[in-house]
Structure 1
Amino acid sequence: MKLFLIVLAGLILEVFVWIGVGDLVGSMWYVFFWFIAAFFIGLNIVRKHASGLMPQMQQMQAGQMSADPTLSGNLPKIIAGFLLMVPGLISDLLAVLILIPPVQNALKAAMMNVMMKRQQAMMEKMMGGMMGDMNGMGGAQGQNPFADMMRQMQDMQNQQGGSRDSSIIDGEAREVSPEAKKIEMKDIHPK
């Protein structure tokens, strides 16, 4: 209900700004043409920066991939593109503000914090569901045996901090016994 009232108040404010700017410039046609131009500019920005966005977002949400710098760099631009596509002068002003690099950096930091909190909550929920049967297995009641592991994972994410070194490959090592190939000495002397 709050969101509905906020959207309704925003729409009413947008209409008053449209009328005020239309009176200021002398014609509502200029405002209308600006909306059309801003729509195509926003569409161009979204097309340019949204390629490959959904698979990366799904992987990040599933916790399979940490923050990709290209994704976190493109997301504010995509949001600005969508705001330009929405007809309204206030939304266009917000889009232009988002395109300023310091504002982009602040928005990226806020989005990364939100995503890390969601990932942490998802981990706690998963580990909490596993705790139901663990109390009778020697674990102290009310303590999470995975708390240390979750803390270490969060520390590792904080150390990475959104800039990931592309030369590091995560993996698992195991010992492999090589198959010894022997050279047979059949005819070493030519006849």
Structure 2
Amino acid sequence: MKLFLIVLAGLILEVFVWIGVGDLVGSMWYVFFWFIAAFFMGMNLIRKYSAGLMPQMQQMRMGQMTGDPALTSNLPKILAGFFLLIPGLITDVLAVLILIPSVQNIFKNVMMKTMAKRQQAMMDKMMGGMMGDMNGMGGGAQGQNPFADLMRQMQDMQQQGGSQRQDSSIIDGEAREITPDVQKIEMKDVNK
């Protein structure tokens, strides 16, 4: 309900700004043409900066947070493109503000903190409240998460930076000798 009221208030405010700017510049057609130009600019921003980001977004959503600079630098630009798609002068001003580099840095910091909190919450949820079960039941096996040991090992590997990787120079397989079919080239006499 609160979100609906915020969207409704924003919509009403946008309409008043449209009318005010239309009266200020002399015609509502200028505002209309600006909306069309902003729409295409937003589409170009989204198309340019979103290429190849979907796998990285899915990794972040699954909790495998990566500090990829391409992802963190492109998300504010994609958000600015989305704001330009929405017809409205207030959202267009927000899009221009997001394109300022110092605002992008603030956005990146907030986004990374939010993703770190979300990842920690997901890990706590996956652990199934294991620490609470151990404290409340004296470490008994009943009520514990059966995946707690696996999750602990995954956290240890993540903290160690994956230094326990297997040697990639070992190839498992079987060898057998084959003899290729040798075909002889016959010479034909061309003088016949």
Tell me the TM-score normalized by structure 1.
0.72
Residue 165 of structure 2 corresponds to 172
Q: Are 1:2 and 2:2 counterparts?
A: yes
Contact persistence 1:18–1:89 (CA under 8 A): yes
Q: The residue matched to 2:140 in structure 1 has which SS?
A: helix
**Equivalent runs, 1:38-187 vs 2, <5 Å:** 38-128=38-128, 135-137=139-141, 172-173=165-166
Q: CA deviation at 1:31?
A: 0.2
Alignment RMSD: 3.5
What is the identity, as a one-letter code, of the residue corresponding to 1:88? G
Amino acid paired to 1:121: A
Given the superposition, is the C-alpha separation of residues 103 and 177 from structure 1 closer, same or farther in structure 2, using an over 3 Å criterion?
Answer: closer
Q: Deviations over 1:160-186 (max 9, x none)?
A: xxxxxxxx98661459899xxxxxxxx
Whether the 8 Å CA contact 2:65–2:119 is kept in 1: the answer is no
How big is each residue's C-alpha offset from its partner over 1:142-177, in whole Å with a ceiling of 9 and x where there is no partner? Answer: xx999x9899789x6xxxxxxxxxxx9866145989
- C-alpha contact (below 8 Å) 2:63/2:118 kept by paired residues: no
Distance 2:170 2:149 in 1: 36
Deviations 1:83-135 (A, max 9, x none): 00100000000000000000000001111111111000000011125568763
Write the distance in 2 (CA, Å) between the matches of 1:175 and 1:46: 39
- Residues matched between the structures, number: 162
Q: CA distance change for structure 1 residues 133 and 169 in 2, over 3 Å: closer, same or farther?
A: closer
Q: Partner letter of residue 172 of structure 1?
A: R
* Structure 1 residue ranges, 4+ long, deviating more than 6 angstroms after superposition: 148-154, 175-178
Amino acid of the structure 1 residue aligned with 2:165 = E
Q: Which runs of 5+ in 1 are unaligned?
A: 138-143, 157-167, 179-191
Distance 1:91 1:170, change over 3 A: farther
Could you tell me whether the CA contact under 8 Å between 2:65 and 2:115 is conserved in 1? no
Percent identity, please: 69
Give the TM-score of the pair, scaled to structure 2.
0.72
Q: Which structure has the greater CA radius of gyration?
A: 2
Closer/same/farther in 2, CA of residues 170 and 59 from structure 1, 3 Å limit: farther
Determine helix, strand or coil for the equivalent of 1:118.
Answer: helix
Q: Relative CO higher for 1 or 2, CA cutoff 8 Å, sep ≥ 6? A: 1
The 8 Å contact of residues 63 and 122 in structure 2, kept in 1 or not, is answered as no
Residue 92 of structure 1 aligns with an amino acid whose one-letter code is D
- Following superposition, the deviation at residue 66 of structure 1 comes to 1.6
